[in-house]
């Protein structure tokens, strides 16, 4: 009969969940996990006219600025349009600086077309512009275009570097130190690479800062079962939004140097700093200020992206990494590894160029560019403050200041009864909480367990990106939900 036939067919498959790559299966990535899938389902149901306790699903799960209504920076898009369709070089409605930037990019492309492959490391002139940007940012510390690698978003760079670092078996297997809580691309990649994840906990009591004694604890314990070789620092933090002090960065560098760790600095939120008295210090500047003892030897790679900051151009998948003091032979291997994928997308490379070589005073687009950028960054600052302030008015929610990046990561108290019901349903308490928030309030946030958190503590990550009026509504809904939830399970 047909049932047994179907079973037979299913059995015959070559590739099944039991015969697929186990490391892929074991990887977890909550930012696009079951809660997000359920959110998409709810959206479809709403569109089909089903009744829900809410009119729309607010997807606060991901740092996706344009999806939240943020408008692109005009200059970037004008220049990208010209790069796509160079006939626009003759269009008098386009400003001269957008034309000259686009022209320079096209001159650096094979056949003057974004449709040709670039060098594996990225277009030469783009890497030159990135290097000059870094020098300006770091007060003159030199940057060599040969140390710049253009990547497909920052995550491509991070994954590539992690891949280079992994070797050994058993107790000599490479260990990589990552913060907890952390952006789960790190843990997912480490599982895929069968590397050992070495957790160090950020200090929630001190605004999620990095603690050197905790680094030392984590490292010493890890040395019993693996070979820790690299330390990842995310500054400003994701999901924890802290901005590390200059002193902290110096201490981290000293620690990494002493313990012989390769430093990976994820600095994609460097333009997103809002906290009172906070300032972004690049690892590279601090390294060079510490003198040649450090700056001549310490291996450091810094990652940046066009997806965050004020531009929020996630879809273009632009990014770069700068490698400092990397062994020349390893650098050649890195280039080879990248070459198998041929090159990162050229429109993303073009965008990298524009972002790091924006309009200058006196150029026709300058005033409008500054106006647009300032408006976005001031609004983000306002949203960061509003978020912290509203959430801290809710009993059972406590939220560290949102010093930077694009997220809050409040701690939540989950009543005992809710914990029991969660366990009965086979869910972690914070997953249970976030699923309820989605079903009852239409708000999609990611449970803290997706990022890692101290045992017995619960959090969620929510983006602060919605327009301020919508964010206000969102925060009020969170507040209302939390109160109802607490009441129900008390």
Question: Which residues between 195 and 254 bind its own copies (CB under 8 A)?
Answer: 229-230
Site string for its own copies, 447-466 (x = CB under 8 A): --------------------
Per-residue tokens: 40: 């998409």
CB of 137 to its own copies, least distance (A): 23
Q: Are strands 58-59 and 443-444 parallel, antiparallel or unpaired?
A: parallel
Question: Which of 64, 144, 289, 382 lies at the binding interface for its own copies (CB under 8 A)?
Answer: 64
Q: Which is nearer to its own copies, 155 or 471 (CB)?
A: 155
In order, the DSSP letters of 149-208 are EEEEHHHHHHHHHHHHH----GGGSEEEEEEES--THHHHHHHHTTPEEEEEE-BGGGTT
Residue-wise burial string across 418-437, b where 16 or more C-beta atoms lie within 10 A, e elsewhere: bbebbeeeebbbbbbbbbbb
Q: Which is nearer to its own copies, 114 or 414 (CB)?
A: 114
Question: Which residues between 138 and 157 bind its own copies (CB under 8 A)?
Answer: 152-153, 155-156
Question: Which residues between 308 and 327 bind its own copies (CB under 8 A)?
Answer: 311-317, 325-327
Whether the upstream peptide bond of residue 236 has omega within 30° of 0, thus cis, is yes
Question: Which of 41, 85, 140, 476 lies at the binding interface for its own copies (CB under 8 A)?
Answer: 85
Other CB atoms within 10 Å distance of the CB of residue 312: 24
Report the alpha-carbon angle 220-223-225, nearest 5: 130
Question: Which residues between 348 and 387 bind its own copies (CB under 8 A)?
Answer: 348
Q: Which is nearer to its own copies, 37 or 370 (CB)?
A: 37
Residues pairing with 411 in the sheet: 398, 459
- Contact region for its own copies (CB under 8 A) — 32-40, 131-139, 269-277, 423-431? 32-40
Q: Is 92 helix (H, G, I), strand (E, B) or coil?
A: coil
Q: Find out whether 350 and 344 touch, Cβ atoms under 8 Å.
A: no
Q: Which is nearer to its own copies, 20 or 420 (CB)?
A: 20
Residues pairing with 322 in the sheet: 148, 302
Cα pseudo-dihedral 61, 66, 68, 69, rounded to 10: 180
Q: Are strands 227-234 and 174-180 parallel, antiparallel or unpaired?
A: parallel
Per-residue tokens: 282: 């690049």
Q: Which is nearer to its own copies, 64 or 421 (CB)?
A: 64
Question: Which of 2, 12, 53, 424 lies at the binding interface for its own copies (CB under 8 A)?
Answer: 12
Question: Which of 15, 50, 277, 469 lies at the binding interface for its own copies (CB under 8 A)?
Answer: 15
Q: Which is nearer to its own copies, 230 or 412 (CB)?
A: 230
Give the length of the chain. Answer: 490
Q: Does 45 bind its own copies (CB under 8 A)?
A: no
- Contact region for its own copies (CB under 8 A) — 186-194, 273-281, 390-398, 452-460? 186-194
Q: Does 13 bind its own copies (CB under 8 A)?
A: yes
Q: Which is nearer to its own copies, 357 or 400 (CB)?
A: 357
CB of 461 to its own copies, least distance (A): 15
Question: Which residues between 156 and 175 bind its own copies (CB under 8 A)?
Answer: 156, 159, 163-167
Q: Does 346 bind its own copies (CB under 8 A)?
A: yes
Torsion sign, CA atoms 464, 465, 471, 474? negative
Site size toward its own copies (CB under 8 A) is 98
Residues pairing with 57 in the sheet: none
Q: Which residue has the tokens 């933090």?
A: 237
C-alpha 69/C-alpha 277 separation (Å) is 29
CB of 409 to its own copies, least distance (A): 20
C-alpha 416/C-alpha 342 separation (Å) is 54
Per-residue tokens: 300: 């450091």
Q: Which residue has the tokens 């990046």?
A: 405
Largest CA distance in the chain: 79
Residues with Cβ within 8 Å of 188's Cβ and at least 6 positions away in sequence, in order, are: 27, 28, 29
Question: Which residues between 262 and 301 bind its own copies (CB under 8 A)?
Answer: 262, 296-297, 299
Question: Which of 56, 113, 389, 476 lies at the binding interface for its own copies (CB under 8 A)?
Answer: 113
Q: Find out whether 325 and 144 touch, Cβ atoms under 8 Å.
A: no
Q: Does 24 bind its own copies (CB under 8 A)?
A: yes
Q: Does 114 bind its own copies (CB under 8 A)?
A: yes
- Contact region for its own copies (CB under 8 A) — 30-38, 238-246, 369-377, 482-490? 30-38
Q: Does 82 bind its own copies (CB under 8 A)?
A: yes
CB of 427 to its own copies, least distance (A): 18
C-alpha 272/C-alpha 50 separation (Å) is 39
- Contact region for its own copies (CB under 8 A) — 242-250, 280-288, 307-315, 392-400? 307-315
- Contact region for its own copies (CB under 8 A) — 212-220, 277-285, 336-344, 371-379? 336-344
Q: Does 422 bind its own copies (CB under 8 A)?
A: no
Q: Which is nearer to its own copies, 356 or 489 (CB)?
A: 356
Question: Which of 7, 139, 212, 337 lies at the binding interface for its own copies (CB under 8 A)?
Answer: 337
CB of 320 to its own copies, least distance (A): 15
């Amino acid at each position: 009969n047909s049932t047994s036939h179907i079973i037979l067919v299913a059995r015959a498959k070559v590739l099944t969940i039991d015969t697929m790559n186990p490391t892929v299966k074991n990887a977890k990535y909550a930012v696009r996990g079951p809660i997000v899938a359920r959110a998409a389902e709810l959206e479809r149901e709403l569109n089909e006219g089903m009744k829900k306790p809410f009119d729309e699903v607010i997807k606060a799960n991901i740092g996706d600025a344009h999806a939240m209504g943020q408008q692109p920076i005009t200059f970037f898009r004008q220049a990208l349009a010209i790069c796509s369709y160079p006939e626009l070089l003759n269009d008098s409605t386009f400003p001269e600086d957008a034309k000259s930037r686009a022209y320079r990019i096209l001159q650096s492309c094979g056949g003057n077309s974004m449709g040709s492959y670039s060098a594996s490391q990225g277009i030469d002139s783009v890497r030159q512009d990135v290097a000059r940007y870094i020098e300006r940012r770091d007060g003159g510390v030199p940057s060599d275009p040969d140390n710049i690698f253009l990547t497909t978003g920052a995550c491509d760079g991070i994954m590539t570097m992690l891949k280079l670092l992994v070797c050994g078996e058993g107790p000599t297997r490479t260990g990589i130190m990552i913060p907890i809580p952390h952006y789960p691309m790190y843990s997912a990649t480490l599982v895929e690479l069968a590397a050992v994840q070495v957790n160090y906990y950020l200090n929630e009591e001190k605004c999620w800062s990095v603690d050197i004694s905790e680094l030392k604890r984590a490292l010493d314990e890890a040395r019993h079962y693996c070979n820790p070789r690299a330390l990842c620092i995310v500054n400003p933090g994701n999901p924890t939004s802290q901005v590390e002090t200059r002193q902290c960065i110096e201490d981290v560098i000293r620690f990494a140097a002493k313990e012989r760790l390769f430093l990976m600095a994820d600095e994609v939120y460097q333009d997103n700093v809002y906290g009172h008295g906070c300032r972004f210090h690049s690892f590279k500047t601090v390294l060079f200020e510490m003198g040649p003892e450090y700056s001549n030897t310490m291996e450091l790679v810094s990652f940046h992206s066009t997806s965050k900051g004020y531009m929020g151009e996630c879809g273009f998948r632009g990014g770069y990494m700068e490698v400092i003091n990397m062994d020349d032979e390893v650098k050649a291997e890195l280039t080879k590894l990248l070459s198998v994928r041929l090159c990162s997308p050229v429109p993303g490379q073009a965008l990298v160029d524009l972002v790091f070589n924006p309009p200058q005073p006196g150029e026709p687009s300058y005033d409008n560019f500054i106006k647009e950028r300032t408006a976005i960054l001031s609004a983000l600052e306002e949203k960061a403050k509003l978020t912290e302030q509203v959430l801290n008015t809710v009993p059972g929610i406590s939220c560290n200041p949102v010093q930077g990046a694009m997220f809050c990561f409040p701690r939540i108290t989950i009543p005992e009864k809710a914990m029991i019901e969660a366990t009965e349903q086979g869910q972690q308490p914070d997953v249970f909480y976030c699923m309820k928030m989605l079903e009852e309030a239409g708000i999609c946030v990611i449970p803290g367990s997706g990022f890692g958190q101290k045992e017995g503590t619960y959090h969620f990550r929510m983006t602060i990106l919605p327009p301020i009026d919508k964010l206000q509504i969102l925060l009020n809904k969170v507040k209302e939900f939390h109160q109802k939830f607490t009441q129900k399970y008390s």
